[in-house]
Amino acid sequence: MMYNCSFIKYLWKDLDKKRQLRTLEKQIVLPFPPAIGQEIGENEWFSGKIERVVWDNTRQFFTVKVSDIIPKEGISAELLLDVALKQGWEAQDKN
């Protein structure tokens, strides 16, 4: 059995995590159900540690929340966004 998964990661504008820059998403199919604590990789893409897993029984897929991206001193959120996109994450539209 294969499991459709939507991996979600938040990119914050600043260290205090009060202002979110973007939500990043990656659709992937796994041969096993995802579990908290796992980390998944595919080519250049890397999920980060899984923090929360929710099964949507109606639509038959897992929503998988992984560790956030938080800028560090000297590394802007915009630069981190560019790196994440190059690694295979997709940025959801801003609301």
pLDDT per residue as tens digits for the range 37-68: 999 999 999 999 999 999 999 999 999 999 99
* Number of domains into which the chain is organized: 1
- Contact at 8 Å (CB) between 52 and 36? yes
Average predicted confidence (pLDDT) for the chain: 93
Q: At 16, is the pLDDT very low, low, confident or very high (cuts 50, 70, 90)?
A: confident
pLDDT of amino acid 95: 52
Length of the chain: 95
State pTM to two decimals.
0.90
What is the domain extent for residue 42? 3-91
| Interstrand relation of 3-12 and 39-42 (parallel, antiparallel or unpaired) | unpaired
Cα→Cα distances 12→46, 68, 82, 88, Å: 18, 8, 13, 18
State the Cα–Cα distance between residues 88 and 21, nearest whole angstrom: 17
pLDDT of amino acid 19: 87
pLDDT of amino acid 57: 96
State the Cα–Cα distance between residues 93 and 42, nearest whole angstrom: 24
